[in-house]
Structure 1
Amino acid sequence: MKAFGKILGLIFLGLLLIIVAAGFALTHLFDPNDYKDEIQQLARDKANLELTLKGDIGWSLFPWLGLELHQATLASPATPEKPFADLDMIGLSVRVLPLLRREVQMSDIRVVGLNLDLQRDEKGKGNWEDIGRPPQSPEGGPENRSAAPTAAPRPTGAEEPARPIKLDIDSLTLSNARIDYSDAKSGRQFSAEGIELTTGAIREGASIPLKLSAFFGTNQPVMRAKTELTANLRFERALKRYQLEDLKLNGEASGEPLKGKTLAFNAQGQLLADLAANVAEWNSLKLSANELRALGDVKLRDLDKTPRLEGGLSIAKLDLRAFLTGLGVELPPMSDATALQKFELVTRLAGSPDSLALEGLNLKLDGSTYTGRIAVADFASRALRIQLKGDKLDLDRYLPPKSKASQDAQSARQAEVKGTVAAASQGTTPLPNAPTQLAWSETPMLPVDPLRKLDLEATLDLGQFSVDKLPMEDVSLKALGKGGLLTLEELRGDLFDGNFTVSAQLDVRPAVPLLKAQKRVNRVPVEKLLQARGQKPPVRGQLDLTADITTSGNSQKAWVDGLNGTASFVLNDGALLDANLEQQLCQGIATLNRKTLSSTRSSAETPFRELKGSLVFNNGVASNQDLRASIPGLSVKGDGAVDLRVLGLDYRLGVVIEGDKSDMPDPACQVNERYVGIEWPLRCRGPLELGAKACRLDKDGMGKVAARLAGDKLSEKLEEKLGDKVSPELKDALKGLFKQ
């Protein structure tokens, strides 16, 4: 037995030597370069591939089946003169014996100078799509169709699934590679150049270290990016499970969207694709982009259907203004240069290929906190959905500052008003002139083009809200926007212990935007409204207002110039400030009494119980024909107009007074029976800021009052003289004659 075993071993050794000798002879006596034409024809027949071998072919047979190609190109048979791929060299080798066990054991795979030029024509067909298809006959059908053998029927019995080929590759190296893609129909181009890829041993179920670097570029928009990726790859084909462990991706990007700026980015985490469960995950996500730092987890479900996005995201405290500026974003001018400097975000993510929602949002911006939901319901139409609750928002910080032209116009008007105010004292100066300087800015207020594209549904609840320096509380807003028509369904809240409700509609579809609004204000202190706008109030009191107005344009001036509509108002428990109408009226009574006032009134205001009326707006001028006021000791009625374009007033008032009812009345201001029921005329004209200071006795009206009083006095004398000497009819006729 021992001799038999020795003989058997010698036989196997001899066979091995024969195989090695045969392999040596084949590789040295057989030159594959002599068969380039046959190899190229075989590629043409079997793969419908135009293979051109310009360089030498090197090979080995045993124990490694090795192949090395130099200077090869690949093209579609339809365009053999336009290769879609070429390479400088590819080298690989496979152990022969493991192939018999369906195992692929390879040494290093090396690919040098691979260039792919992938193109789609104007019909959308790619220059690589015919590869692998049967070659076409001149008639347009597959060649030798009639000669093709009929496939033998497969047995109907159950078959064992083919055992997958086991991979065992020492390493893969791809160097100096390039990929170009272009689409003639869209004009888009994409490139990846300088591609360098190296891996460790590639074995299924094992951790495979890899490193990839490349330069990427696009033309729509023009962008360039340098990237480097390192990770450990693990795959299990039977389980359809693929992982990138300890992923690190970093790089820099620049181009047209960044407007000369550079974006440095870094991403880390654990990636998993479980195709059996149709799930992909990115766990322990760490992301940085310039100043931005974020943490999160992202999961995609239903990969075989419509993928659904789930996850969470947290962005650390960030100077959002600096970050956006670093991305080339041109922020609109804002009144507060420090706005957007404090930003934090925590949210859950939910989405699909067409939408993205930030659920359970907790946003901190410039000292304010907002919670709720923000979503883009459809990327194509940019449909925005917002439901937020916040503690406070000062909108004035984010609105544009006043333009220089607006500031100059305002300064000119203030100078005009200041001069008029200085001239107006306690009623002894002439009637002020009407203002002429415009009070409103011509700076565009609305971003018309973005508003025309806006698809918006928004609800907003705020504890504190400030706009145009008006401090509102418990504000609730609901707005819709679609196709250039924006509707403010409701804006309500509290203002200075009163409340307000507003609804409005903005139509930006025409060339000139159209605006209409309905307002209701209840018991809002009017003096605080004016003080909040930096104006000195001429009046105080609780304002009730109802208005229905329309206008057009895109600036304050245009809105005021085009203002039309109606309004009604009531001002309760108020007073005319910095003005004493009683003093002026006493002066008038003293004049008629031909006396001089012994003292002046020290009060700096004229109180009233009620001031009410209605307004009709016509191209920026508010007309009022039914002004009524109830003042202790006085009753007032009037008519006139307020020119909102220059904030000027022009009114005629009729005042019926009872005279000086104080404990120590001024004799010159006492009203005798002749003055009872007399309507004393006042004329008010000048800047709106003057209030009652703009009012003076109407000289023309005073002449009529004097004539009436003179007639009354003559009537009294007639009564005394005539007594019962004439008939009552004649006495009445004579009295009426003197009262004309």
Structure 2
Amino acid sequence: MPVKIILSVIAALLLLTVITIFTVYFLIDPNNYKPEIVAAVKQKTGRELNLIGDLKLSVLPWLGISTGSMTLSNKAGFQDQSFVTLDASDIKLNLLPLLSKKINVDHIVLKGLVLNLEKNAQGENNWDSVPAVNTTAQAASAINNNEEQFAVNSLAVLAVGGIAIENAQINWRDQATGKPLLFKDINLKIDSFAFDKPVALNLSGLFIKPDSGYKAAIQLSSQFIVSEKLDTFVFNNSELQATVNIENTAKPIVATLAVANMLLDKPAQSLKTSGVKLVADDMVISADLTGVYLDDHYALQGPVIMSNFNLRELMARLGIKIADLSDKQALTESSVYFNVSASENSLDLQDISVSIDNTQINGSARLLSFVEPTVAIILIADHLDVDRYLPSAKNHVASKWLSPEAAMALATFSIPTDLLSRLAIDGQLSVASLKLNGLTLNDYQLNLNASKGLIRAQQSAKGFYQGAYSGNLSVDMLNAKSLLALDEKITRVNVESLLKDSKTKFQMTGIVDGSWQLKGLGQSIDELKSSVTGDIHFLFKDTEIKSFNLQAMLDRAHVSTDAIDSAHVNHDLTRFSSLSGNSVLANGIIHTNDLVATTATLHIKGKGSVDLNTEQLDYKLQAQLIKAAATATSAEQFYDTPISMAVTGSLSQPNYALDVSALLTEKNKAKIADFVDKNKDKIDGIVNKIDQKIGPGVSNLLKGLFGKH
């Protein structure tokens, strides 16, 4: 709340006291003129002044007056409570300087001041009608009842022996937010005051946010100089100490803000500060700020330095809960530098240099509005290991199958929807080397745009395991259920390196191209996961699957042909020249109906599914032995009989099995045909007898079995 509001209210109270003095000065009993005083205040402010206590006059050795309790009503349209209440006041003047039209005040004391400040939902406040200080002469003449006017406006305040405000309280309420603030137990002491001379000031009080459990006991000391024209203010050696207590924290935070010099020059509309230093525990913030000030508008600029501090400890002291991070040393070493340019409704940070642990971040950030937060940010980092800052329990689970855009989606849904609906962000992040969920993305770029519940994110990595990655994410939170759309692509990625960093037991080599387009609808992460559907496409080239030897399995089942070259047989792996498929994701299960794979000796087709919830495999494959490879003039030739295979188990430990009962090789079929030709008469006789005993039709089945049609 602006300082001038409080000063205006205090000045108004002093004005009322001075009015009373002037009344007593010319008349005998000030209590007889309470109605005139009340009427004058009503005329000037539209408010009701209630002088509850008696007015007491003293003349010698000082001209003084003491008041009892008084109240000033609130502005219409605000709470039904007094705008100001005062328990007592006392003021004493030296008589002799009055003869030369000068005021020499011995002391001014205000006791039990309570000030209720409000702002309604329309942005109107309840202090606008408080009279300015320059209305003193008009108010004084209004109560003089046509007697000779006292030339108040020609008076100059020569000196004030001291000013004291005891046990005061300020209540603040913003009807738009409904969140109150309370500043109580206020005690202000100003030593002997004179224009253009140093004056000592001491202030103490207790600041409370009732709805948050936040309390801060403050103590302010300073020396200030005020020019006689009230247009220049100088503050020297100012120090503000705050002891902050936050609910659910072990001990309070003691912070000290020191300002060596501050100059407010109203004619030049300038504000300059130097030697600004904030010390809170082990954190030290220093700054040198200059700026301009005009009425309620201000602008400040200058460098700000936050020296090395332990961010983890600071967050804990502020009551911010931190999960058990993967790296116990994360967030323990930080420093910050930036040039700030601030106004009453915006904040601009340039030349940002942030060091967090061993990561260096540079860039700029702008907050264009405090009312409707609008952020524009550009950051560049040398390297960033996000996994260090993930909760240790979650990091191991998430690192297996979480892509960059999926991680971004999870982060989005961890932020309250009402905040996202109000937040506007236009951000860019560049990282030379980023580690996320165990995966390394080099030359990483993020472009993020969020506005009123619509979020767009584009991520790319030009270096992603010898290949490249790109992805797009959109989240629409405008309706009751959020709509998520995700589109990602990898190109020429080294499979072995990718699987190694994914911490999977499955061993595979080769190069992969892949893409997936997914959509989901829901109010929570769990609901989104269950609703995700989409398409997945993949192509592996020059691939080896280790701990799986398909050729050895065929040999054990005696289905190989003599044409197989032993050079293609490896007892530890199976080589595929290509492996591709197009899949559909629904209900957490990936269905593939056109799986195609090729080895040196086999052509494989199949279909099946992967349950992402249980990571279980269920694939049925049909393989054909290659009789002759394709040439420039002829297509690839296969043996007639397919080989049935089943792939089950889990993604990390798959099981492979042949359907031996269904296998008939070309060699076995030839043996059966030769046997049938040699025993044709016997077989025909047996078939005819079966027809006679069982019925017609059975012979046709047997003939089909033996290749006779």
TM-score, normalised by the number of residues in structure 1: 0.72
From 316, 329, 334, the equivalent of 2:320 is 329
Q: Which residue of 225, 228, 231 maps to 2:222?
A: 231
Tell me which residue corresponds to 1:683.
645
SS in 1 for 2:371: coil
1:179 alignment partner AA: Q
- What are the Cα deviations for residues 417-448 of structure 1, in whole angstroms up to 9, with x where unaligned? xxxxxxxxxxxxxxxxxxxxxxxxxx999315
**Where does residue 252 of structure 2 map in the other structure?**
262
Amino acid across the alignment from 1:696? A
Partner of 2:278: 287
Q: Is 1:619 aligned with 2:557?
A: no
In the alignment, the residues of structure 1 paired with residue 523 and residue 506 of structure 2 have an alpha-carbon distance, to the nearest angstrom, of: 28
* Alignment-derived partner of residue 90 in structure 2: 90
The structure-2 alpha-carbon separation of the partners of 1:736 and 1:37, relative to structure 1 and needing over 3 Å to count, comes to: closer
The match for 1:366 is 357
1:303 CA displacement: 2.0
The residue correspondences of 1:23-172 to structure 2 (distance < 5 A) are 35-44=29-38, 46-48=40-42, 50-51=50-51, 54=54, 56-60=56-60, 66-76=62-72, 84-94=84-94, 96-97=96-97, 100=100, 102-104=101-103, 106=104, 108-111=106-109, 113-118=111-116, 126=126, 129=129, 166-169=156-159, 171-172=161-162
Cα RMSD after superposing both structures: 4.5
Counting matched residue pairs gives 614
Q: Any conservation in 1 of the 2:105–2:159 contact (CA below 8 Å)?
A: yes
- Secondary structure at 1:203's aligned position in 2? coil
Distance in 2 separating the partners of 1:53 and 1:735: 121
1:698 maps to which residue? 659
Q: What letter corresponds to residue 113 of structure 2 in structure 1?
A: N
Contact 1:541 1:571 in 2 (8 A): yes
Q: 1:234 to 1:264 in 2, by over 3 A?
A: same
1:394 aligns with 2:385: yes
Q: Is the 8 A contact 1:518 1:549 kept in 2?
A: yes
Q: Which residue in the other structure is 2:414 paired with?
A: 447
Change (3 A) 1:444 1:284: closer
- Cα distance in 2, alignment partners of residues 499 and 121 from structure 1: 55
- Residue of structure 2 equivalent to 1:477: 446
SS at match of 2:551: helix
Give, in whole Å, the separation in 2 of the partners of 1:239 and 1:59. Answer: 30
Residue 567 of structure 1 is matched in structure 2 by 536
Q: What one-letter code is carried by the residue in structure 2 that aligns with 1:550?
A: K
Q: Secondary structure at the match of 2:571?
A: coil
How far off its partner does 1:120 sit?
6.1
2:240 to 243, 249, 252: 249
| 1:570 positional shift | 1.7
User: In 2, Cα distance between the equivalents of 1:226 and 1:570?
Assistant: 66
Q: Is the 8 A contact 2:559 2:663 kept in 1?
A: no
1:2-13 equivalent positions in 2, closer than 5 A: none
Flag the structure with more relative contact order, 1 or 2, with Cα contacts below 8 A and sequence separation at least 6: 1
Q: How does 1:196-215 map to 2 (within 5 A)?
A: 196-215=187-206
Q: How far apart are 1:205 and its partner, in Å? A: 1.9
1:294 is displaced (CA, Å) by: 0.4
Give 2:544's aligned amino acid: A
Which among 431, 435, 445 is matched to residue 462 of structure 1?
A: 431
Kept after mapping to 2: 8 A contact 1:469/1:532: yes
Distance 1:709 1:348, change over 3 A: farther
How far has the Cα of 1:316 moved from its partner? 1.4
Structure 1 residue 538: Cα displacement: 3.6
Asked if 2 retains the 8 angstrom alpha-carbon contact of 1:634 and 1:658, the reply is no
Residues 206, 235 of structure 1: 8 Å contact kept: yes
Encode CA deviations 1:391-415: one digit per residue, 9 max, x unaligned. Answer: 11222233344469x97x999xxxx
For each residue in 1:100-133, what CA deviation from the matched residue of structure 2 results, as whole angstroms up to 9, or x when unmatched?
A: 3x543x2531416353454769897859957799
Please tell me whether the aligned partners of residues 83 and 117 of structure 2 are also in contact (alpha carbons under 8 angstroms): no
| Cα shift at 1:293 | 1.5
The verdict on how the C-alpha distance between 1:119 and 1:548 changes in structure 2, with shifts beyond 3 A counting, is: closer
Does structure 1 retain, via aligned residues, the 8 Å contact 2:199–2:223? Answer: yes
Counterparts in 2 of 1:501 and 1:82: CA distance versus 1, 3 Å: closer
Report if the CA contact (8 A) 1:239-1:276 is conserved.
no
**Contact 1:268–1:285 at 8 Å: present in 2 too?**
yes
Q: 1:99 and 1:634, CA in 2 relative to 1: closer, same or farther beyond 3 A?
A: farther
- 2:516 corresponds, among 547, 560, 564, to 547
Cα deviation, residue 184, structure 1: 9.6
Determine the structure 1 residue equivalent to 2:474.
Answer: 505
Q: Are the structure 2 counterparts of residues 110 and 273 from structure 1 closer, same or farther at C-alpha, using a change threshold of 3 Å?
A: same
Contact 1:195 1:215 in 2 (8 A): yes
Does the C-alpha gap of structure 1 residues 117 and 649 become closer, same or farther in structure 2, counting only changes over 3 Å? Answer: same
Query: Could you say if the C-alpha distance between residues 335 and 716 of structure 1 is closer, same or farther in structure 2, counting changes exceeding 3 Å?
Result: farther
> Are 2:583 and 2:590, in contact at CA under 8 Å, matched by a contact in 1?
yes
| % same residue | 18
Q: 1:108·1:170 contact (CA, 8 Å) conserved in 2? A: yes
Give the C-alpha shift of residue 478 in structure 1.
0.7
Q: 1:592 to 1:366 in 2, by over 3 A?
A: same
What is the CA distance between 1:296 and its match in structure 2? Answer: 0.8
Alignment partners' CA distance in 2, 1:620 and 1:114: 68
TM-score by length of 2: 0.74
Residues of 2 paired with 1:178 and 1:112: CA distance?
A: 8
Alignment partners' CA distance in 1, 2:179 and 2:638: 91
Q: 1:50 to 1:33 in 2, by over 3 A?
A: farther
Cα offset for 1:280? 2.3
Distance apart, 1:59 and its partner CA: 1.0
Query: Is the 8 Å Cα contact of residues 429 and 447 (structure 2) preserved in structure 1?
Result: yes
In structure 1, distance between residues paired with 2:538 and 2:84: 79
Pair 1:534-2:499 in alignment: no
1:382-461 matches, cutoff 5 A: 382-402=373-393, 446-447=413-414, 449-450=416-417, 452-453=420-421, 454-461=423-430
Q: 1:690 to 1:398 in 2, by over 3 A?
A: closer
SS at match of 2:509: strand
Supply the distance in 1 between the matched residues of 2:27 and 2:102 (Cα, whole angstroms): 28
Residue correspondence of structure 1 range 7-22 to structure 2 within 5 A: none
Opposite residue 267 of structure 1, the aligned amino acid is L
Distance 1:188 1:583 in 2: 75
Give 3-state SS (helix, strand or coil) of 1:324's partner: helix
Q: CA deviation at 1:483?
A: 2.8
The offset of 1:583, in angstroms, is: 1.6
Q: Alpha carbons of 1:489 and 1:114: their partners in 2 closer, same or farther (altered >3 Å)?
A: same
Deviation at 1:626, TM superposition (A): 3.2
**1:592–1:690: structure 2 CA closer, same or farther, 3 Å change rule?**
farther
Q: Which amino acid aligns with 2:656?
A: C
Deviation at 1:481, TM superposition (A): 1.8
Q: For 1:600-611, list aligned pairs within 5 A.
A: 603-611=571-579
Matches within 5 A, 1:280-359: 280-304=271-295, 306-331=297-322, 334-359=325-350
Amino acid at match of 1:738: G
Residue-by-residue CA offset, 1:542-565 (whole Å, 9 max, x unaligned):
111122222345888766654422
Q: Is the 8 A contact 2:31 2:54 kept in 1?
A: no
Flag the 1:112–1:629 CA change in 2: closer, same or farther, 3 A: closer
Structure 1 position 362, deviation (Å)? 0.7
- How many angstroms apart in 2 are the aligned matches of 1:491 and 1:599? 41
Give the letter aligned to residue 595 of structure 2: L
Q: In the alignment, residue 282 of structure 1 is paired with which amino acid?
A: T
After TM superposition, the structure 1 stretch with the greater mean CA deviation from structure 2, 302-311 or 288-297, is 302-311
Task: Please tell me whether the aligned partners of residues 218 and 240 of structure 2 are also in contact (alpha carbons under 8 angstroms).
Answer: yes
Q: 2:117 & 2:218 partners in 1: Cα distance?
A: 24
Deviates more, 1:307-316 or 1:186-195: 186-195
Q: Which segment drifts farther, 279-288 or 82-91?
A: 82-91
C-alpha deviation, 1:577, in angstroms: 0.7
Distance 2:708 2:415 in 1: 64
8 Å contact from structure 1 (residues 538, 689) kept in 2:
no
Task: Indicate if the aligned counterparts of 1:543 and 1:571 stay in contact, CA closer than 8 A.
Answer: yes
